[in-house]
Amino acid sequence: MTAHRQPGTVLTDHTFAVPLDHAVPDGEQIEVYAREVVAVGRERDQLPWLLYLQGGPGGRSPRPLGRNDWLDRALDDYRVLLLDQRGTGRSTPATRQTLPERGDAAAQALHLSHFRADSIVRDCEVIRRGLLGADERWSVLGQSFGGFCAITYLSFAPEGLREVLITGGLPGLRSSAEDVYRAAYPRIERKNLGHYARYPGDIEAVRAIVAQLREAEVTLPGGGRLTPEAFQALGMMLGSANGSHTLHYLIEDAFVPGLSRPALSDSFLAEVQGHLSFAGNPLYAVLHEAIYGQRSVSPGPTGWAAERVRREFPQFDAARALEGDGPVLFTGETIHPWMFTADPALAPLHETAELLAGQEQWPDLYDPDQLADNEVPVAAAIYHDDMYVDTADSLATARAVRNLRTWVTDEYEHDGLRVSGGRVLDRLVRLARGEL
């Protein structure tokens, strides 16, 4: 094990071998990496462990810079384990560079079918037993998709859990992918209208950008295509605390000033690429709809649900918006087939993604009966009108999970854990302990 020091912290690297398929424990093994973080001076203390499950899917765990963000509050009470979930970060990777070694698209899709929350939870149990021992429990903090994983954990391995803290991540237990997106588009529209009310000049600016993209083929610095639909995908930013402001500053610098003909600036295109490319997180795109697949809810394929449901909301059609005088609406946390041709990081995985979209009979991820009898203390922050996770679904799940307490707030957006300076985590800890 390798240890490092940062201001106020000691970091220790851990690598664990886990089965690719936990149903075949003696079969192929992959590596899962995790970083232990403890406050300076407390390295030898018998502290309870807090496992952090990152949002995503496909997001690596945070890279700490000392006692920053929520970690500062966590280190007051816990020894923290930042997990790079399978396929991410320093764990055995699953990318356009590594997946072809698995074989053809069918072999790649089969491989990736083992990268959902159920497999992640089983990885966590292997790690818990290795670090703590079979009889010791740990606490779990789940952000966004990490909260989905935490509910899966409560469903199938509650014996490993001391307490569960969830931020912006209570999933609909019985919601299909179609249900998720049918509820999402109206929320995304509200975020758009809020942005344009804040920055009314962006209405014409965005219309001008989209018109330019319709008139000429635009290539991003990394070789990807910037189509109107790709530009609309920048709406992903609108669900975070400062996302609307960041988007506005991006829009205002779109065109090169002083030219005889309009042209999008190199700096604008470079920044757009940074927001749109999936090079650093391909699993987010490839597995995004698969995280909602459950045979008891919807036995058929997810089938590009976001793309199909979008047709029910014609207000998101950019061409139609330009025919009138209204705003062009951005989209949000939605994955579409065209992304696998427009983004060079995803293009080699196009056929694999199609096979995953067509897969039927995904195993269930939640056990409502077990959750109804849950004895593990759970505290969950639900962000009012969260763009990424439906508030109605979260509240229904909160009612369905025994021993769960909620904090519903409009003080923060989906990234409240990160931007609150430890306040969100502190409240959840106190809720779980019964101090509030």
Candidate list 144, 155, 244, 420, residue with the active-site label: 144
Task: Give phi and psi for 132, each to the nearest 5.
Answer: -105, -25
Say whether both 235 and 340 belong to one domain. yes
| AA letter at 309 | V
Say whether both 128 and 208 belong to one domain. no
Candidate list 343, 386, 390, 415, residue with the active-site label: 386
Domain ranges, residue 376: 3-173+366-432
Say whether both 169 and 218 belong to one domain. no
What is the distance, to the nearest Å, from the Cα of residue 212 to the centroid of all Cα atoms in its chain? 31
Q: Peptide bond preceding 57: is omega within 30 degrees of 0, i.e. cis? A: yes
| AA letter at 284 | Y
Domain closes at, from 305, 333, 357:
357
What is the DSSP code string of 129-181? HHHT-TT--EEEEEETHHHHHHHHHHHH-GGGEEEEEEES----TT--HHHHH
Average pLDDT, the chain: 97
Beta bridge partners of 36: 12, 81
Q: What is the pLDDT of residue 409?
A: 97
Say whether both 197 and 231 belong to one domain. yes
| AA letter at 378 | V
Say whether both 34 and 152 belong to one domain. yes
- Residue written as tokens 């090079």? 279
Say whether both 232 and 136 belong to one domain. no
191, exposed or middle or buried, with CB in 10 Å at 0-12, 13-18, 19+?
buried
Q: Which stretches in the chain have pLDDT values below 50? A: none
pTM tops 0.95, yes or no: yes
| AA letter at 204 | E
Helices 243-252 + 177-198 axis angle, to 10? 60
Say whether both 134 and 184 belong to one domain. no
Say whether both 392 and 261 belong to one domain. no
Residue 367 falls in the annotated catalytic set: no
The Cα 75–Cα 176 span in angstroms is 37
Residue 155 falls in the annotated catalytic set: no
Say whether both 161 and 15 belong to one domain. yes
Domain closes at, from 357, 381, 415:
357
Candidate list 390, 414, 415, 420, residue with the active-site label: 414
The gap between the terminal CA atoms of the chain, to the nearest Å, is 39
Say whether both 195 and 116 belong to one domain. no
Task: Give phi and psi for 230, each to the nearest 5.
Answer: -65, -40
Residue 76 falls in the annotated catalytic set: no
Q: What is the pLDDT of residue 3?
A: 86
Q: How many domains does the chain have?
A: 2
Contacts of 379 (CB under 8 A, 6+ apart): 163, 164, 165, 166, 404, 405, 406, 407, 427, 428, 429, 431, 432
Say whether both 149 and 183 belong to one domain. no
CA dihedral for 215, 221, 227, 232, sign (positive or negative): negative
Domain closes at, from 331, 357, 383:
357
Say whether both 297 and 390 belong to one domain. no
Helix residue ranges per DSSP H, 324-359: 339-342, 350-357
Question: What CATH number did the domain enclosing 104 receive?
Answer: 3.40.50.1820
